[in-house]
Amino acid sequence: MNANTLEGRHALVTGGSRGIGFAVARRLLEMGARLTLLGRDEAALREARDRLGSPERVGCAAADIGRRAQVDDAFARARLWGGGVDILVNNAGQAVSERFDRISEDAWNRMIAVNLSGTFHCMQAALPGMLEAGWGRIVNVASTAGLIGYPYVSAYCAAKHGVIGLTRAVALEHARRGVTVNAVCPGYTETDIVQDAVDNITRKTGMTPEQARAKLAERNPQGRLVLPDEVADAVAWLCLPGSAALNGQAIPVDGGEVTGH
């Protein structure tokens, strides 16, 4: 995965202003791609573009991925700036922690809208151009929560299981068209979502933040949290021209947590 491996390719990364999305954007930029960062906060996107250090190769498009009209508008702006979208990384996501019998319908709908419907909207916006070009890479950042269950995040688990099912179905539909569709499934990773989980644990249990982080890290057989750059490297690998045989896969990046499930 050297510089210029993705020269001439245009990659769109959702949730690209921070965490895993920013790490992915930086990695793809290092590999020669042009980038569009998509997220809800225009100011955060511009700040991320500045931090990436190559503003002439990075564009921004603000949108709520849960709203189809906004997604279509953002993709249209991305194409005007960077040309057809060759690589789509669906990274944007949210998690709400609540016992299943207490989760509200609004919270449920929000988790489905952001984590599943948003992925659907962006895939439908990107696919026609990829199919016309005869080449494309779609990587959906799911979660180990899409492979196994976790307590107190039932809506998130349901959405991420849906993302993996969607990944597999679309991969099979277009397997002979030059487009691959895969998912990476990070375990607990050093991101804002994990920080929110730490805050929730400390609030409800009285643990210190250090104890809460250690509790989450226990799930990883390596005894640590995954790093965003480690997830980004897995995503970048799936975007390579030489990864054409990888299709419909859900690849855990979790230190071995889901082994045996």
Helix axes 68-82, 118-133, angle to 10 degrees: 40
Asked about 150 being catalytic, the answer comes back as no
Contact 144, 186 (CB under 8 A): yes
Phi/psi of residue 36, nearest 5 degrees: -120, 125
Quote the tokens at residue 201: 């644990």
d(CA 128, CA 105): 33
Instruction: Identify the active-site residue in 150, 152, 156, 188.
Output: 156
Task: Answer for the pair 126, 72: CB distance below 8 angstroms, yes or no.
Answer: no
Half-sphere exposure of 135 (CA within 13 A, CB side): 13
Cα gap 57→227, rounded to integer Å = 25
Token pair listed for 40? 């809800």
Containing 79, the helix (H) or strand (E) segment is helix 68-82
Give the active site residues. Answer: 156
